[in-house]
Structure 1
Amino acid sequence: MDNSLYRLVYYSRNQIGDDGAAFSSNVDEILAKSQVNNLRDEITGALLFNAGCFAQVLEGPLERVEAAFERIQQDERHGEVSLLAVDPISHRYFPNWAMGFIGTSEAHAKRFADVGSSSGFDPSRLSGEQIHTLLRDLAIEEEAA
């Protein structure tokens, strides 16, 4: 198997619903399953939720990142799944994150308010690089806290 690293960036629409408890439970389930799968598959990355959308960066071996993305596309909790980028990378940007979740705290909401105001946090209006940079910067802040 080719051990080259790749970064895959996508966004999807929240199909879970607006109920806070149901949403929280589903996100917890997504994260728990992702962390198990990603540790097994040597995938790292971060997941952002805001304004009814998910945006995610996955990094690891291409075959495994593509398999994870295929599972996401089949998951009924994600709608309108859109691939933004698949690029080779020289190193991991989320080496300590089997799957980090960003987007529920007020601090994170303030941090990407400038992106939200310019795009309405409509990931379809953001590039894969913009989403990657946003998540990377938020992950660095989270690790420093």
Structure 2
Amino acid sequence: MASSMYRLVYYSRNHIAYDEAVFASNVDEILANSRVNNERNEITGALLFNAGCFAQVLEGPLDKVEAAFERIQQDERHGDVSLLALDPIGHRSFPNWAMGFIGRSGMHAERFAGIGSSSGFDPSRLSGDEIHSLLKELAIEEEAA
């Protein structure tokens, strides 16, 4: 039923110490836990980290998406968590990703690192639709690579 499927878009500030090894370990832990929880809860989505911010899209049943967002808000690794959109959807944009991490490959990590410094990428200045479109476009590129 289309009305029972929702898309939530948020951004948050990184509160993980920016030691490369500590950061990588924390992101790996976030992704591993998210993938297990999201698969169990029928949630799909994608996560982008750039310029000290996380931007994420979650898709699935409303109660499950809201529960996942509540866990994120309580996670001390995320600060200034801001909900940008929560809308009913007719279909998923990330049907194959329990939680995709955009920018994992060396080529993409280098590309996305430049987005923040050259454009001032700041998800607080983007709408939920803009973040969703960006992540969808990058996910398509990531899957094609």
**Could you state the TM-score of these two structures normalised by the residue count of structure 1?**
0.91
Q: Deviations over 1:71-118 (max 9, x none)?
A: 000000000000000011110000000001113544355369568744
**Corresponding position: 1:20 with 2:20:** yes
Q: 1:19 to 1:138 in 2, by over 3 A?
A: same
Partner of 1:62: 62
Q: CA deviation at 1:4?
A: 1.3
Residues 142 and 33 (structure 1), Cα distance of their counterparts in 2 relative to 1, 3 Å cut:
same
Q: CA 1:139–1:112 in 2, change beyond 3 Å: closer, same or farther?
A: farther
Change (3 A) 1:93 1:21: same
Question: Stretches of 4+ moved more than 2 A in 1?
Answer: 103-118
The correspondence of residues 4-19 of structure 1 with structure 2, limited to 5 A, is 4-19=4-19
Q: Greater shift after overlay, 10-19 or 100-109? A: 100-109
CA RMSD of aligned residues (A): 1.9
CA distance in 1, matches of 2:139, 2:99: 11
* Residue equivalent to 1:97: 97
In structure 2, the residue matched to 1:107 is 108
What stretches of structure 1 of length at least 5 have no aligned partner?
none
CA contact (8 A) 2:51 2:117 kept: no
CA contact (8 A) 1:116 1:122 kept: no
Please name the residue that 1:46 is paired with: 46
8 Å CA contact retained: 2:12, 2:82? yes
Equivalent residue letter for 1:122: D
Query: In structure 1, what is the Cα distance between the partners aligned to 2:46 and 2:71?
Result: 16
Structure 2 letter corresponding to 1:84: L
Report sequence identity in percent.
Answer: 74
Distance 1:22 1:12 in 2: 18
CA contact (8 A) 1:13 1:81 kept: yes
**Offset, 1:144:** 1.2
**1:142 deviation in Å?**
1.1
Structure 2 gap ranges (5+): none
Q: Distance in 2 between matches of 1:20 and 1:114?
A: 19
